[in-house]
Structure 1
């Protein structure tokens, strides 16, 4: 029997949403434990200040929950998102997973697949792209990680509040992916399939050059995942029912 490969993103786990934490643990004990591999494509956590966040009981417990998949021979891969883009080797070791770059290419069922968090393709949001470039500068990251934890906590809260305020005044079109950027990515990596999260709009989009699968976000115990059963990809809710696709 072929074991599935699963893809999730945008869980935004934190103590503020115990229902989603419970749903994630059920997912780990159910579909994920029966899988061959699990890919987490960013924003697993609401924020990640650095690997010393594992010292907090909540985050240490989540890492241990993920690590238990290793005993079931499930390979776990993690790609940083826009909320948790500072994972290090301590986190990787604690969760028994492999950190992969954004974007990444994998082979699945004889097909080349492009994986990404998705925010890099929201090119119409010029202000965000400037911030993204700065936040991923290695010198900036080194300075950030060497700040006292209390300062990182305070500044991260300021950034989250500022982001929420700014997003209220942005159109949904600006915050979604740019189709030209998607087409360029499919062409650049010579693939016909792209899987990403970030936009919180689960759907299967058809392009002249291929397909784009958008992963669902998780909130208040609701969410979903993309599953490859060895032949096809399907967007599923946590209860196993399908999301509407562009083919329906």
Structure 2
């Protein structure tokens, strides 16, 4: 795809809406909606790289309540013709087809390749990739198993949502989160994953979330790994203007 002149592609990740309390989340949600309002003015596309919610589970006829401002703004942007791509994170991995049907947003469960202005991107949330984190990788297989989701749907939504919110905050193994500390360029496991992928094919940009740390690591000749940070502490997002990628802070 060739980005039209004057247009940009926007990237954001790890909002964790709903946490730690409704009141605190609402403040962050309003900031994010203001960002989306600004982005839609010149966006060729918007990528959301997962963990938009601190917990999300789709029952057959029920979804978690709340997040009205965000969902409404996303629907407005999608209805205007701007494509939005959503990558499921470890906190919203039980997403099904609600975003496609209600908002017109394409949803991905694995990293995907995109080509813009002859620049090749590999984009994803980032959980379960790279070396290590064996415990979470095993748990993810359990959580994404169709039988596990079928069993969970038998819980009344009031019980299921409350239980999952508790586990999301309290259980690090289930959340898959790491302490948000920079591990060094040689130890950042998503950078190591990117280096391994370069052995198969050249990518100009690897764009991921999950780590909650904005970072830029050069991993090869003309190849860079970026982590988008979060909308809890850093309020960072990525912009590709057709020629280069840049991390920015929202005001």
Give the TM-score range, shorter chain.
Answer: 0.7 to 0.9
2:116 maps to 1:108: yes
Distance, in Å, in 2 between the alignment partners of 1:103 and 1:167 is 17
Structure 1: any 5+ residue segments left out of the alignment?
A: 240-248
> Relative to 1, partners in 2 of residues 1:42 and 1:55: Cα closer, same or farther, differing over 3 Å?
closer
Whether the 8 Å contact between 2:47 and 2:84 is mirrored in structure 1 is yes
Distance, in Å, in 1 between the alignment partners of 2:69 and 2:152 is 24
Task: Summarize the alignment of residues 182-201 of structure 1 with structure 2, pairs less than 5 Å apart.
Answer: 182-201=194-213
Q: 2:85 aligns with which of 77, 82, 90?
A: 77
Q: Figure out how many residues of one structure are paired with residues of the other and give that number.
A: 237
Other-structure match for 1:133: 141
Distance, in Å, in 2 between the alignment partners of 1:166 and 1:218 is 17
Whether the 8 Å contact between 2:117 and 2:242 is mirrored in structure 1 is yes
Report the Cα offset of residue 213 of structure 1.
0.7
Distance, in Å, in 2 between the alignment partners of 1:23 and 1:75 is 21
Q: 2:232 aligns with which of 219, 234, 239?
A: 219
Other-structure match for 1:30: 38
Report the Cα offset of residue 19 of structure 1.
1.7
Secondary structure, counterpart of 1:49 in structure 2: coil
Task: Summarize the alignment of residues 166-245 of structure 1 with structure 2, pairs less than 5 Å apart.
Answer: 172=181, 173=183, 177=189, 179-208=191-220, 210-219=223-232, 223-239=235-251
Distance, in Å, in 2 between the alignment partners of 1:23 and 1:65 is 12
Report the Cα offset of residue 225 of structure 1.
0.9
> Relative to 1, partners in 2 of residues 1:189 and 1:143: Cα closer, same or farther, differing over 3 Å?
farther
Structure 2: any 5+ residue segments left out of the alignment?
A: none
Report the Cα offset of residue 189 of structure 1.
4.8
> Relative to 1, partners in 2 of residues 1:171 and 1:124: Cα closer, same or farther, differing over 3 Å?
farther
2:148 maps to 1:153: no
Report the Cα offset of residue 55 of structure 1.
6.0
Whether the 8 Å contact between 2:136 and 2:173 is mirrored in structure 1 is no
| Alignment RMSD (CA, Å) | 2.9
Whether the 8 Å contact between 1:64 and 1:94 is mirrored in structure 2 is no
Other-structure match for 2:13: 9
TM-score, reference length from structure 1: 0.83
